Amino acid sequence: MEYYSGKSINNKIAIGKLFYYKKQEAKVKRERIEDVENEVKRFDEARELAKEQVLDLYEKAKSEVGEAEAAIFEVHMMMLDDEDYGDSVCNMIESQMVCAPYAIASTGENFANMFAEMEDEYMQARSADIKDISERMVSILLGNNDTGAVFDEPVILVADDLAPSETIQLDKDKLLGFVTRHGSMNSHTAILARTMNIPALIQVDIKPEWHGKEAVLDGYSALLTIEPDESALFKAREQVAQDNKKEELLKELKGKETVTKSGQKVKLYANIGNVADTAAALMNDAEGIGLFRSEFLYLESADFPTENEQFLAYKIVAENMAGKPVIIRTLDIGADKQVDYFNLKKEENPALGYRAIRICLNQTDIFRTQLRAILRASAFGNIAIMFPMIISLSEVQRAKEILAEVKSELKEQNISYKDVEVGVMIETPASVMISDELAKEVDFFSIGTNDLTQYTLAADRQNPALDDMIDIHHPAILKMIEITVKNAHDNDIWVGICGELGADLELTKFFLDLGVDELSVSSSSILPVREKIREQE
């Protein structure tokens, strides 16, 4: 019996045989060609076929894991159309008289290295995407028909790494879990694992000789046990049985009130990234949408989404929620969420730079378009507006002035809208310290604990080297939440939490004791949080 540790993606357990998967590597040779025009044509044809394949992957991912998680393949589509990438490949073919596979592989490696060396986290992540699309086109040209890992029985997959395209093609009915040597907690593959609700370990020192051996993948302890003895198997099966029983119990909580035994009620809402996520929110019995991350409309678009495109998205969510609250956070672009067509300048520290409300108050045409869309959609449901990254009273006052101007425009144009609640995100130490003043300007607070944690601890949450430093239970964070809740209630407004801490069951009682009015969590966390609340006295 051997033990290997790693980092866990999901608190779940898998028991079964290990299947070692080694990706078929395409051997690319530098070959001189004579017909340049034909070789460029081969590249163009490979690119078109790659687009078709990626589109198929997008549709498959969309149907299996949702639109938000499928968005990575839209990024791949855009990269395949990237002019700089295409020009570089063609230039290499023409100037060096080399074959298309070699030009693609070389360009892919050059671009991937260039992205990997950038300081911006978002751009670094694009390195893996460049490799993925380059390998796809090379495989097409070389006639490599590798269909990925194929297995006849349920297995725990072991691999050096898994690209999102490989992960989404796996047979979900036979995939018990996976273990990889590489990867990160925030990779697209990790996100897919969470969405598929399967256990996974990353950063494990894997070995080919494990193939076919029995193992236990324990997501709770982040351990992989090779050839477990009867005692280890018994414990693992016991935990699996408990997990299954818990899932069944949680299903019984659908439709039940989110209330403690003593009668303290809490609003339990869902965080969503786009229209498709509404289905998961409803399926898990969300009482509303506490955070609609509207920036995904921009991230998933090749240009600024129009007023009507935004209006339709907000309207559909409002209608689907059938009168339940839908809180839309205005544009939060910047930091780790970069969009090319915004043409934002490179910053030394984008997390502390030009982002969110700062962009909106400076580029008011973008802001006004979004506010018009939200207000128009308010006529079809119960919508509220929330401003992110607030650090001053003047920002809130200016944002409200623009909102009032937009309302006047709509009124003059005889366009219907409702008076919506207006709130702010409390996610900077500055907003906490002036929360008593901010509370006099708005209808509610929503505490964004993710950014509040990184700004309070001066620790970049995108930097994996600081993972051990980011203490989400740090006394300073909890004290700031306490201050914010008190100042909200002293000014007769409600306060919620929409960051990751909202789903932290270790803090549920703490939030109840403070009198937090609302918790907004991922859809999969709604029922576990409800169960925890209903257990409290």
pLDDT on residue 433: 96
Mean pLDDT of the chain: 86
pLDDT on residue 382: 95
CATH of the domain at 181: 3.50.30.10
pLDDT on residue 14: 92
Q: Using CB atoms within 10 Å of the CB of residue 401, give its burial: 0 to 12 exposed, 13 to 18 middle, 19+ buried.
A: exposed
Q: Are residues 163 and 137 in the same domain?
A: no
Q: Are residues 80 and 204 in the same domain?
A: no
Q: Which amino acid is residue 10, in one-letter code? A: N
In-domain check, residue 27: no
Give the highest mean pLDDT range of 19-23, 458-462, 502-506: 502-506
CATH of the domain at 90: 1.10.274.10
- In this structure, are strands 421-426 and 444-447 parallel, antiparallel, or unpaired? parallel
pLDDT on residue 471: 73
Q: Are residues 381 and 513 in the same domain?
A: yes
Q: Is the pLDDT of residue 426 over 90?
A: yes
Helix (H, G, I), strand (E, B) or coil at 28: coil
Residue that terminates a domain, selected from 124, 142, 160: 142
User: In which element (H, E) is residue 424 found?
Assistant: strand 421-426
Determine the longest span between alpha carbons in the chain, in angstroms.
82
Q: Is the pLDDT of residue 459 over 80?
A: no
Q: Are residues 165 and 98 in the same domain?
A: no
Residue that terminates a domain, selected from 142, 166, 182: 142
Q: Is the pLDDT of residue 125 over 80?
A: no
Would you place residue 83 in the very low, low, confident or very high pLDDT band (cuts 50, 70, 90)? confident
Q: Are residues 113 and 161 in the same domain?
A: no
Q: Are residues 60 and 209 in the same domain?
A: no
Q: Which amino acid is residue 476, in one-letter code? A: A
pLDDT on residue 269: 96
Would you place residue 243 in the very low, low, confident or very high pLDDT band (cuts 50, 70, 90)? confident
- Among 291-295, 325-329, 417-421, the minimum mean pLDDT is found in 291-295
Question: Crossing angle for the helix pair 449-457 and 475-490, nearest 10 degrees?
Answer: 130
Residue that terminates a domain, selected from 175, 209, 232: 232
Domains of the chain: total? 3
Q: Provide mean pLDDT across the span 59-76.
A: 74
CATH of the domain at 398: 3.20.20.60
**What pTM was estimated for this model as a whole?**
0.58
Q: Tell me: the pLDDT tens digits for 23-35?
A: 766 678 899 999 9
Give the highest mean pLDDT range of 64-68, 89-93, 343-347: 89-93
Q: Is the pLDDT of residue 104 over 90?
A: yes
In-domain check, residue 183: yes
- Among 182-186, 200-204, 313-317, 354-358, the minimum mean pLDDT is found in 182-186
Would you place residue 67 in the very low, low, confident or very high pLDDT band (cuts 50, 70, 90)? low
User: What does the H/E/C string look like for 176-218?
Assistant: EEEEECCCCCCCHHHHHHHHHCCCEEECCCCCHHHCCCEEEEE
pLDDT on residue 344: 65
Q: Is the pLDDT of residue 496 over 60?
A: yes
Q: Is the pLDDT of residue 78 over 70?
A: yes
pLDDT on residue 285: 87
| Residues of the domain holding 525 | 263-535
Q: Is the pLDDT of residue 123 over 70?
A: no
Q: Tell me: the pLDDT tens digits for 336-385?
A: 555 566 666 675 666 676 678 888 898 899 999 999 999 999 999 999 99
In-domain check, residue 242: no
Q: Provide mean pLDDT across the span 35-56.
A: 92
Q: Provide mean pLDDT across the span 289-295.
A: 91
Would you place residue 415 in the very low, low, confident or very high pLDDT band (cuts 50, 70, 90)? very high
Percent over 90 (pLDDT), the chain: 48
99 belongs to the catalytic site:
no
Percent over 70 (pLDDT), the chain: 87
Q: Of 188, 211, 473, 474, which residue is the catalytic one?
A: 188
498 belongs to the catalytic site:
yes
In-domain check, residue 495: yes
Q: Are residues 333 and 476 in the same domain?
A: yes
Would you place residue 265 in the very low, low, confident or very high pLDDT band (cuts 50, 70, 90)? very high
Q: Are residues 67 and 170 in the same domain?
A: no
Q: Are residues 213 and 286 in the same domain?
A: no
Q: Are residues 15 and 48 in the same domain?
A: no
pLDDT on residue 189: 67
Would you place residue 334 in the very low, low, confident or very high pLDDT band (cuts 50, 70, 90)? low
b/e map of 365-378 (b: 16 or more CB within 10 Å)? ebbbbbbbbbbbbb
pLDDT on residue 462: 61
pLDDT on residue 247: 74
pLDDT on residue 368: 95
